[in-house]
Amino acid sequence: MPLGLAPDAWRLLASGLLVTVGVAVCAAVLALLTAFVVGLAQLSRRTTLRVGATVYIEFWRGASALVQLFIAFYVLPLFGIDFPPFVVAVVVLGLNVGAYGSQIVRAAVQSVAPGQREASLALGLTRAQTLRLVVAPQALPAMLAPFANEAVELLKLTAATSLITLRDLSLAARMLVQRDGHTTLVYAVELGLYFLAALPLLLLTRTAERRLRSRGRAAPALTPVNPL
C-alpha cells in the first residue's frame, strides 16, 4: 500500500471526509438562510425585529461553537430534546455561523449608498422593489468574498463535531491512529485533506476580493471573526 497505510485506511479517511463535507454543506445552507433572515431583520423598521435579531446574534456569538455543541449534545437530551449527532452538528453550526453571516448581509446592504434607496423610493418603487431591483444587485456581489471566508470557518468548525462522537474526518483519523499508529503520516494526510477541501473557497475569497478592489470598491469590512 502506498505510504505504508493499511489497505482500508484510505476508505476510512474518505468516509470521514464525506461526513465532514456533508455536515459543512447542510450547515452552510442553514447558515445562509439564517444570515439573510437575521441580517435583514436587523435593518427592519420594526423595533421588535431589530431587537430580536440583536439578541439572536449576541446569543450565538457569545460562546464558542464547541461549548454550544456540548450543551446541545449533553444538556438538551435531559429535557427530551434528543437528536443524533449529525443533526445536532448541522443545527448548532448552522445557527452559529448564521449569526456571523448576518453581519455580512447587513454590512453589504448598508454599503449601498442611501441616496440610491431614497431615489428609488422617490421614483415610486416600493420598499420591496427597491430591495430587489436596486439594493440586491449591488449588495449580493459584495457578500461573495466574506461568505466564502465564512464557509472556510464553517468547514474548520466541523472538526469540533468529532468531540460529540460524529465520525467525521477528524474522528476517523484519530481512530486510525489508535488502531495502526503511523501518527505523523495520518495527521499530515488529514491536514492535507482539510486544506484541499478548503482550497476552492480560499481561492474564491481571494479572487472576489481582488475583483471588488479593482472596481474601486472596498470589500465590506469583515465582521468579527468566527472563532474556530
Partner 1 sequence: VTFDPAYAFSVLPVILQGAWTTLVATLLGMAVALVLGLGFALAQASPRRALRAAIGFASLFLRGTPLLVQLYFLFYILPLYGVVLPPLVTGVIGLGLQYGAYVGEVYRSGIESIGVGQIEAARVLGLSRHRVWRHVILPQAFARVVPPLGNYMIGMFKSTPYLSAITVNEMLGAAMDEASQSFRYLEPMLIVGAIFTTASYAASRLLARVERGMPVRAG
Nearer to partner 1, 74 or 140 (CB): 74
C-alpha angle 163-152-23 in degrees, rounded to nearest 5: 45
The CB-of-161 to partner 1 minimum distance in angstroms stands at: 10
Q: Nearest approach, Cβ of 224 to partner 1 (angstroms)?
A: 4
Closer residue to partner 1 (CB): 20 or 34: 20
Minimum CB separation of residue 128 from partner 1 in Å reads 32
Whether the Cβ atoms of residue 210 and residue 217 lie closer than 8 Å to each other: no
Phi and psi, residue 208, nearest 5°: -65, -40
* Euclidean distance between CA atoms 109 and 114, whole angstroms: 10
Name which of 83 and 187 has its Cβ closer to partner 1.
Answer: 187
Instruction: Scan for cell 461526513, then name that residue.
Output: 19
Q: How far is the CB of 133 from partner 1 (least distance, A)?
A: 30
Reading the block at residue 207, the C-alpha cell is: 479572487
Helices marked H in 43-135 — which ranges? 47-62, 65-70, 85-110, 114-122, 127-129
Q: Which residues bind partner 1 (CB under 8 A)?
A: 58-59, 61-64, 66-68, 70-71, 74-75, 78-79, 152, 155-160, 162-163, 170, 173-174, 177, 183-184, 187-188, 190-191, 194-195, 198-199, 202, 222, 224-228
**CB of residue 146 to partner 1, shortest distance in Å:** 14
Using the minimum distance from each CB to partner 1, give the nearer residue, 165 or 183. 183
- For partner 1, which is the closer residue by CB, 86 or 187? 187
- What CA–CA distances, in Å, run from 53 to 153, 193, 202? 22, 36, 29
Which CB atom, from 34 or from 190, has the smaller least distance to partner 1? 190
- Specify the 3-state DSSP secondary structure of 31: helix
What separation in angstroms does the CA of 24 have from each of 27, 102, 185? 5, 18, 25
Q: Least distance from C-beta 3 to partner 1, angstroms?
A: 16
Nearest to 168 by CA among 194, 200, 201: 194
Distances 119 to 43, 54, 140, 141, 212 between C-alpha atoms, Å: 18, 29, 20, 21, 24
